[in-house]
Amino acid sequence: MRLKVEQYVTESIQSLVSVANIDVEFCRGFIRYLRTAKNARKKKESTISVGYAATVQTSFNGALNNAVREGILKSNPMKGINAKEKVHTPDSVREFLTLEELKLAMTGSCPNEDVKKAFIFSCFTGLRLSDIRSLTWAKVQKSPDGNTLFIRCLMQKTQTYVNVPLSNEALKWMPKKEDLNEPVFTLPSDSNVERNIRLWMESVGVKKHLTFHCARHSYATMLLTLGADLYTTSKLLGHKNIETTQIYAKIVDQKKVETINLMDNYFGNQK
């Protein structure tokens, strides 16, 4: 994310800009830049993918939220950007693990077991990587009746609180409890996390381009696949509006259609 911001400043603004001076127009210009930014990794001239542009935009928004918390900015200027102006990940890019693939991944070996535990934990909680990093044991609380553990945390991306009950499956992937102020998971850099996920998935034969954020997609689609209603799923994900959650419902519905088509193809070939 930092590299793309530096490239934008160098190519478009051509003068130094302090974090304190980042405003709505800077953000708007940066989003426009992301739509046409060149992909330096490819030999042929091409632009970065929409999915990657959306990821950079999310990281940029998170960095501005941090600047607000540190008193550098009074408010996040990204809030002044209309949703239609922002980069949105196409539905087709929202990769996720099916229930069968998740089971397969759970049995496989990851080069970094902490990454594996955090990723699967996210598959059962829907927490983003930024929220996993900021998760301390103090945020793991008991329900009033004492029968359920849940997480109450401020989501880094949206700056809103979410309450997530912890299932037995989620609890299995949490490390041994430490001091209340200690992080639950200790993870390497974002790029290292993604590299470990790629190697891990390759080793178990999952042929999808998965990032850590795909664990959140997996959580959403798993809930809907298992029969959770749209409203409850939306609340568990911390979505501000149910329209965002409906994207996952469309994915699940499409998978149902594909499954029926597989049946038709199979029996249609029988003589």
Same domain for 103 and 208, yes or no, is yes
Beta strands in the chain (DSSP E): 140-142, 149-154, 161-165
Task: Confirm whether 271 is domain-assigned.
Answer: no
Same domain for 235 and 134, yes or no, is yes
- Residue that terminates a domain, selected from 39, 56, 89: 89
Task: Confirm whether 42 is domain-assigned.
Answer: yes
- Residue that terminates a domain, selected from 89, 119, 144: 89
pLDDT digits 0-9 by tens, 67-91: 999 999 999 999 999 988 999 876 5
Same domain for 126 and 179, yes or no, is yes
Same domain for 117 and 206, yes or no, is yes
Same domain for 10 and 76, yes or no, is yes
269 pLDDT band, cuts 50/70/90, is low
pLDDT of residue 247: 77
Same domain for 132 and 59, yes or no, is no
Rounded to an integer, the average pLDDT of 166-194 is: 93
Same domain for 78 and 180, yes or no, is no
Rounded to an integer, the average pLDDT of 19-45 is: 88
Task: Confirm whether 131 is domain-assigned.
Answer: yes
Same domain for 225 and 122, yes or no, is yes
CA-to-CA distance for 33 and 8, rounded, in angstroms?
A: 7
- Residue 181, domain extent: 99-262
Same domain for 244 and 164, yes or no, is yes
SS3 94: coil
Same domain for 104 and 161, yes or no, is yes
Instruction: Decide: pTM greater than 0.75.
Output: no
Task: Confirm whether 269 is domain-assigned.
Answer: no
- CB 105, CB 97: distance < 8 Å: yes
Q: What is the CATH number of the domain that holds 226?
A: 1.10.443.10
Task: Confirm whether 270 is domain-assigned.
Answer: no
Cα 30 from chain centroid?
21
- CB 125, CB 151: distance < 8 Å: yes
Distances (CA, A) of 48 to 43, 91, 121: 13, 17, 30
Residue 226 has pLDDT above 90, yes or no: no
Average pLDDT of the chain? 88
Task: Confirm whether 195 is domain-assigned.
Answer: yes
Query: DSSP letters of 109-141?
Result: --SSHHHHHHHHHHHTT---HHHHHT-BGGGEE
Structural domain total, the chain: 2
Residue 38 has pLDDT above 60, yes or no: yes
Rg (CA), the chain: 20
Same domain for 80 and 111, yes or no, is no
- Residue that terminates a domain, selected from 35, 60, 89: 89
24 pLDDT band, cuts 50/70/90, is very high
pLDDT of residue 242: 80
Same domain for 13 and 35, yes or no, is yes
End-to-end Cα, the chain, rounded Å = 56
